[in-house]
Each structure stands twice: as C-alpha cells, then as structure tokens.
Amino acid sequence: MAGETVLVVGGAGYIGSHTCLDLANKGFQPVVYDNFSNGHREFVKWGPAEEGDIRDRARLDEVLAKYKPAAILHFAALIEVGESVKDPVSFYENNVIGTLTLLSAAQAAGIGAFVFSSTCATYGLPQSVPLDESHRQVPINPYGRTKYIVEQALADYDQYKGLRSVVLRYFNAAGADFEGRIGEWHTPETHAIPLAIDAALGRRQGFKVFGSDYDTRDGTCVRDYIHVLDLADAHVRAVEYLLRGGESVALNLGTGTGTTVKELLSTIETVSNRPFPVEYVGRREGDSTTLVANNDKARDVLGWSPKYDLSRIIESAWNWHAKSNQH
C-alpha cells in the first residue's frame, strides 16, 4: 500500500493535519482538500493542498480526477455543539449535504474506501459506561444528529452501492505533535485543555468549571481524553484495513480511562508548574456526567490501542500552546 494517494478532506484542520503527518510517515501520499474556513494553510506540510468546498461537486470531481486517490478520509465538518444549537442550518448544509455530495463524487470516481470522522455525540446521554458500539444512538443536539445521519447514509451506501466505510466515533481529542509543528488551534477556542493552558499561560483570566455536583468521584464531569496522534494512527489503520478488503464497521476511539475536570486541571498545573484561577459555576445544559469509551472493537478490528496517557497529552499540548503565537 505504500505510495498510495489518500484524499484528506478537511486535512488542514486539527485531527486531519495530524493524520496527514501519520500518513506520510507510513508511506502514503496525503492530498489535502479544504476550504480553509477552519483549517490552516500552515498545517499543510506533508503533501499538496487543493482548495475547495465539499458542497462543490464540480471541484470535487476535478480533484478526484487529478489525483485518483485509493481512499478518502473525511474530516470536514462543523463541530461546535453550542453553535449547532444556534445555527442548525449551517450544520445540516455542511455536515449532511456536503458529505452526501462528497460521497456521490467518490462513487462516480470509483472509490470504494471511505473513512468518516464521527463522534461519541451520536450516542446521546449514556445509558451505561463505558460506551461500546452497540449503545443506542439518540443524539441530543444538531451536531450529533448530523453525524448520525451520515452514519446511517454510509450503512445504506455499503448495503446498496458497495461503498465500504469505517466510521470512527471520537471521544475527547487532545494533545499535539510532540515536535510542535502542528497542534490544536480553533477560533474561538472552546475545548477544555487549550482553555486551561491559556489560563496557566496568563492569556485568559482563569478557567470555568461547569458543575461540581455531578455523581462522580469529585463532583465534576468525567471525560475520555485521547491523544490526537493516537486518533491519527487509527485513521491510517482504517485506510489500510479497507484497502485490504475489510468490511464496513463503526469503531469507538478513546482510551477507556475517564478523567474528571478537577483531575485534568491538576495535571495541567503539575505539567506546567503554573497554578491558575479556577471558578466553579452551574452545570451547562446538555453535558453528560460521564463519557468513557469501550475501545475493545477498535483493538480487535484494527489492531489499534492508544499509546499516550493524560500526562503525555498535556505535555504535548503545553509544548504547542506555549510556543505558538496564534493567540
């Protein structure tokens, strides 16, 4: 498979760019397709970039004809849950209509291997923890629903059109390339680790914790933080699996270890050696008490298991945010 071209749609974004790095390290040729609305041109370092929108069928056809990729990795989505509640139309137009347009172009180009960036938000409120792939899918916001709709479409494309896919349901992506070449860079930033690191760096006044009365070991929410390089590794393994003829499958990507918000903040203080102000406020609507992955299936199907623990996640993120000037 070495030397195969892979089209990385949304490859200038956070997880997409780290996956391009991993693809290149494993002998693939990544080609980035991105409209750069949220991605960064500076993050395109391991292959050519083609500017375009996933809703632009003519542009997709042109790029697919030019590069003839063996597989497509699809990261291009609007992801902010709060924004999806305020502006669901944009989420449906990009995440659903855009993906269906991309799938049509992929089919017309004869591509039979498609890896989809999904989310544990398709599960909704957990009925049991850790969550495995058989957990019911009842998303509670437009973001989760748009991803779930695409998952259902992919199942139909597989059954009726022969387009095989791997659906990867992320838990909490975190961390950065250890060499500091790329990292997490969202505008505005809404994710806990970069916000807390910015507080430790004095770039913001402090960190707000939403809810301290949950039924957890210290009263704060529990999340499963997974290093972005572990996510990238899973995506490349998914491409290899499909190119070897693997069947369509949906897989959780998490560590299986839950971390409370208090534990997260304590780790950031330890790694950075910089205490910062923390304010405890009321619960935020829609937050689940505990989200932790059962990742057994990804191990069994892809031979994948995460390498990096929370301390390594924070070390890599601290290195990136402390040296970067994107703020």
- Verify whether residue 67 is a known catalytic residue: no
Point out the catalytic residue in the list 33, 123, 143, 225. 143
φ and ψ at residue 66, rounded to 5 degrees: -70, -45
Q: Encode the chain (327 residues) as per-residue pLDDT tens digits.
A: 668 999 999 999 999 999 999 999 999 999 999 999 999 999 999 999 999 999 999 999 999 999 999 999 999 999 888 888 899 999 999 999 999 999 999 999 999 999 999 999 999 989 999 999 999 999 989 999 999 999 999 999 999 999 999 999 999 999 999 999 999 988 888 889 999 999 999 999 999 999 999 999 999 999 999 999 999 999 999 999 999 999 999 999 999 999 999 999 999 999 999 999 999 999 987 788 999 999 999 999 999 999 999 999 999 999 999 987 554
Q: Which residue has the tokens 């347009």?
A: 101
Taking the C-alpha atoms of residue 73 and residue 199, their distance in angstroms, rounded to an integer, is: 34
pTM for the structure as a whole: 0.95
The pLDDT value recorded for residue 244 is 97
SS3 67: helix
pLDDT at 300: 98
Strands, DSSP E only, in 120-185? 164-170, 172-174
Q: Give dist(CA 253, CA 120) in Å, integer.
A: 9
Q: Does domain 3-172+225-251 have CATH number 1.10.150.20?
A: no
Length of the chain: 327
What's residue 3's pLDDT?
83
Closest by CA position to 115, among listed 125, 124, 106: 106
From residue 129, alpha-carbon distances to 72, 125, 167, 213, 276 in Å are 32, 10, 20, 19, 31
Domain borders along the chain are 3-172+225-251
Please state, in angstroms and rounded to a whole number, the distance separating the CA atoms of residues 146 and 207: 30
pLDDT number for residue 96: 98
